Structure 1
Amino acid sequence: MVKLNEREKDRIIEMAWEDRTPFEAIEFQFGISEKDVIKIMRNELKESSFKMWRKRVNSGTSLKHLKKRASSIERFKSSRQKQISKNKISKR
């Protein structure tokens, strides 16, 4: 697994919680797989929070996988989300 600092871990957790951000976007920006995201979530969240997140991700309505998304959704992020370039967060 890639060595991540606290800020990157926080951003990955934030992206993992967002329903509209697929695992592929996290992999694109940070170079970590879905399995690694799950490991981070398991290690960083309380057990009850992790279970709630996993239940949401595994539900039939989850958009966390590109294959489950409607083809009309073409972007990884909301238009209101701050600009992110690869694995670097833009300066504010």
Structure 2
Amino acid sequence: MPRTPDLSASQLSEVIEMALSDHVGFSLIEQQHGLSPDEVKNLMRTHLKPASYKIWRKRVRDFGERREHYK
């Protein structure tokens, strides 16, 4: 299981906002915050409501199948 990152409230908010954006990939989040895709997914699972997390994961998967470099 991925580690839980030690982020300030503002960093946590920024990572969540970036992850929810359709225009920001996991690579940019990793570059700016040092979090792997698995760590971002774990963070989102922890901080979003279960239904919101499922919708987000479905959107990421669906877009990932359509776009080579999405998330």
- Tell me how large the CA RMSD over aligned residues is: 1.2
With normalisation by structure 2, the TM-score equals 0.83
Q: Which runs of 4+ in 1 moved over 4 A?
A: none
Number of residue-to-residue matches in the alignment? 64
Deviations 1:6-47 (A, max 9, x none): 111110000001011010000000001000000000000000
- Matching residue of 1:38: 41
Report SS of the residue matched to 1:28: helix
In structure 1, list runs of 5 or more residues that go unmatched.
70-92
Greater strand share, structure number: 1
Percent of aligned positions with the same letter in both sequences? 38
With normalisation by structure 1, the TM-score equals 0.65
**Is 1:58 aligned to 2:61, yes or no?**
yes
In structure 2, list runs of 5 or more residues that go unmatched.
none
Deviations 1:36-64 (A, max 9, x none): 00000000000000000000000123x5x
> Larger Rg: 1 or 2?
1
